[in-house]
Amino acid sequence: MGPINNIKSATGKGVEDVVVKATASSEDMPRGPACLIEEGLDPCSLIIFGASGDLTARKIVPALFCLFVYGVLPPRTLILGCARSPMDDDSFRARMEAVVSSRPHYHPDKWAEFREMLFYQPIEYGSLDSLKAMEARLRRLEGRGHKRGRLLYLAIPPSIYRTSVEAIGKVGLAKPEGEHILWTRIVIEKPFGRDLESAIELDGLLHKFFREEQIFRIDHYLAKETVQNILMFRFANAIFEPIWNRQYIDQVAIFAMESGGVEHRAGYYEEAGVLRDMFQNHMMQLLALTAMEPPARFEADRVRDEKVKVYRELRPFPLEDLGSHLVLGQYTRAAVEGKEVPGYREEPGVAPDSLTPTYAKMKVFVDNWRWQGVPFYLTSGKRLAKKVTEIVVQFHRIPHTVFREVIGEEIAPNRLTLGIYPEEKITMTFQTKRPGARVCLRAVTMDFHYNEGYTGPVLESYEKVLLDCMLGDQMLFWRQDGVELAWAFLTPVLEECETCADRAQRLKFYRAGSWGPELPELREPPPAISSQ
Ligand code: BG6
């Protein structure tokens, strides 16, 4: 972090917010493709299962195109899309171009080169004959002479994982290496099961054919630059770690608030709800990064070992007093910015009496020396006032106020905010004297914006995830023990919530466009989101 400068002038009366800017010094900033990748990638074949679906068009192919534009994709890369829909190479290419052409990196000349890498093969997921035909075509496309890696990407619904993985394994596509194969890896998207039992079952299926180092379980939150930055912030600075514990920190709040509704995903969301959709994965990762001990080295397994310890130390929910630790909500119809927005139960594909929660706030404790007694409030929901993702660390109040006689008001505790969306930033609030003859305090905010002073390329999460898969770096991917521990923590809660007799009474309704339900149940008021 560079020098602190540019203290904006304060307006208003009494305690007020002022912004103090911290800038990054430009000499510290690595530039250009060098910060994307250090070594060349192996030539690679990407086989996308589910290539006619939404994820392929919206995320995977645009991300690959972007890597191509950055010059990172190795020569002789080939991308073979597979799905049930009948299509040929040209119609697949046209379909992908229709999406990519609206993205900022699109350039017709670059696309003309990239499209030559794209191919399509219709398949039946569970059919060995169909997969053998696909494999034969893949070999023809790959040609002979150059060894290459193979990345199998499952962008398919979990309901067909079993048949697909069995067929992939049986036709020999899972072999870790071969005559002209340098490596084979498989990428799977969440949900990794829907409870502990199904997660173990899915893992058993994958391990029937793949080794753990071949399996890449994606959590796109981990690929966000500012999420990765949590570790740099904590462990590359000497001043924060000594105060990162119960002695100085009063509470931590992690928010992943969304303004969008369930959109076209009701089929999936009705089954998942917010706890499976956001908490078992993204929220658990944010919690682990905030609470974990420093790993001895920045290596995939060392980092993941430390995260797993956090999951192991989570205090089980008190099922007999769940209401004081967990609030579930669902959005209702309301006008948002002058436009009427449907309630969750009115969304297409949602049951009119659905009890699926679209919002949850939970209070969790990490039972170890560092965090004993410090509540972590995790909140996420759909159709809220604003899309905001951030971690707020609230420090203890000062133990004694020497200004009691003169100021008479409560002095707000210091607060550190790690902003992930929309502003990628780190802010610290503290008290200073307000200029003038009268003794008066004002809260000022020291503010660092993540991209300030940086002009090089920034990878979006799917670009980063795909790059790491090709590099074979598992740092940003879930390891199976973490998946199971996260489920072990949440499964009893899910069971209790989904089977209790007063399920309907427990669900709190909130208006679309609000900040969620009222929370009298959580005894201490958690810190508010910074932009509320
Ligand atoms: C996905 C969830 O994993 O993450 C979605 O399934 C959610 O429901 C999304 O909207 C949020 O991701 P982001 O990157 O937009 O914060």
Least confident of 28-42, 183-197, 384-398: 28-42
Asked if pLDDT for residue 366 goes beyond 80, the answer is yes
Cis omega (within 30 of 0) for bond into 422:
yes
Closest residue by Cα to atom 15, ligand 1, is: 258
Closest residue by Cα to atom 6, ligand 1, is: 277
Closest residue by Cα to atom 12, ligand 1, is: 221
Q: How far apart are CA 349 and CA 337, in angstroms?
A: 25
Atom in ligand 1 nearest the alpha carbon of residue 256: 16
Q: What percent of the chain has a predicted confidence (pLDDT) above 90?
A: 71
Q: How far apart are CA 427 and CA 447, in angstroms?
A: 4
Asked if pLDDT for residue 58 goes beyond 70, the answer is yes
Q: What is the model's pLDDT at position 33?
A: 46
Distance (angstroms) between ligand 1 centre and the Cα of 237 equals 30
Q: Tell which wins on pLDDT, 312 or 433.
A: 312
Distance (angstroms) between ligand 1 centre and the Cα of 161 equals 21
**Tens digits of residue pLDDT in 476-507:** 999 999 999 999 999 999 999 998 888 999 99
Using a 6 Å CB cutoff, which residues line ligand 1? 220, 258, 277, 389
Backbone dihedral angles phi then psi of residue 4, each to the nearest 5 degrees: -95, 130
The label of the residue with tokens 């420093």 reads: 294
Least confident of 80-84, 118-122, 183-187, 224-228: 224-228
425 three-state secondary structure: strand
**Tens digits of residue pLDDT in 74-94:** 888 999 999 999 999 999 999
Helix H or strand E encompassing 431: strand 425-433
Query: What average pLDDT does the chain have?
Result: 88
Residue 13's pLDDT band, with cuts at 50, 70 and 90, is very low
Tell me whether strands 326-332 and 359-364 are parallel, antiparallel or unpaired.
Answer: antiparallel
Atom in ligand 1 nearest the alpha carbon of residue 219: 3
Asked if pLDDT for residue 38 goes beyond 80, the answer is no
Residue 526's pLDDT band, with cuts at 50, 70 and 90, is low
Atom in ligand 1 nearest the alpha carbon of residue 258: 10
Which two three-digit tokens encode residue 29?
Answer: 């900033």
Task: For a ligand 1 pocket test, name from 259, 277, 424 the mutation site with the most ligand atoms within 8 angstroms of its C-beta.
Answer: 277
Distance (angstroms) between ligand 1 centre and the Cα of 326 equals 21
Distance (angstroms) between ligand 1 centre and the Cα of 90 equals 31
Residue 8's pLDDT band, with cuts at 50, 70 and 90, is very low
Question: Residue 11 class from Cβ within 10 Å (0-12 exposed, 13-18 middle, 19+ buried)?
Answer: exposed
Atom in ligand 1 nearest the alpha carbon of residue 268: 6
Asked if pLDDT for residue 3 goes beyond 80, the answer is no
Contacts of 247 (CB under 8 A, 6+ apart): none
Atom in ligand 1 nearest the alpha carbon of residue 389: 16
Atom in ligand 1 nearest the alpha carbon of residue 269: 8
Tell me whether strands 17-22 and 4-7 are parallel, antiparallel or unpaired.
Answer: antiparallel
Distance (angstroms) between ligand 1 centre and the Cα of 144 equals 41
Task: For a ligand 1 pocket test, name from 188, 190, 194, 221 the mutation site with the most ligand atoms within 8 angstroms of its C-beta.
Answer: 221
Least confident of 207-211, 228-232, 526-530: 526-530
Backbone dihedral angles phi then psi of residue 424, each to the nearest 5 degrees: -90, 100
Largest Cα–Cα separation, the chain: 85
Which two three-digit tokens encode residue 163?
Answer: 């048949």
Distance (angstroms) between ligand 1 centre and the Cα of 455 equals 27
Q: How far apart are CA 376 and CA 361, in angstroms?
A: 10
Q: How far apart are CA 146 and CA 325, in angstroms?
A: 57
Asked if pLDDT for residue 18 goes beyond 70, the answer is no
Distance (angstroms) between ligand 1 centre and the Cα of 269 equals 12
Which amino acid belongs to residue 38? Answer: E
Atom in ligand 1 nearest the alpha carbon of residue 221: 14
Task: For a ligand 1 pocket test, name from 219, 278, 389, 464 the mutation site with the most ligand atoms within 8 angstroms of its C-beta.
Answer: 278
| Catalytic machinery residues | 282
**Tens digits of residue pLDDT in 331-348:** 999 999 889 999 999 999
Scanning 85-224, the segments in alpha helix (DSSP H) are: 89-100, 108-115, 128-142, 161-170, 196-209
Distance (angstroms) between ligand 1 centre and the Cα of 244 equals 28
Asked if pLDDT for residue 31 goes beyond 80, the answer is no
Residue 258's pLDDT band, with cuts at 50, 70 and 90, is very high
Residue 21's pLDDT band, with cuts at 50, 70 and 90, is low
Distance (angstroms) between ligand 1 centre and the Cα of 274 equals 10
**Tens digits of residue pLDDT in 118-156:** 999 999 999 999 999 999 999 999 987 788 999 999 999
**Tens digits of residue pLDDT in 420-477:** 999 889 999 998 888 888 878 888 999 998 878 777 778 888 999 999 999 999 999 9
Closest residue by Cα to atom 4, ligand 1, is: 278
Task: For a ligand 1 pocket test, name from 192, 220, 331, 389 the mutation site with the most ligand atoms within 8 angstroms of its C-beta.
Answer: 220
Helix H or strand E encompassing 507: strand 507-511
Q: What is the model's pLDDT at position 11?
A: 27
Residue 29's pLDDT band, with cuts at 50, 70 and 90, is very low
Q: Which of 102-106, 118-122, 395-399 has the highest mean pLDDT?
A: 118-122
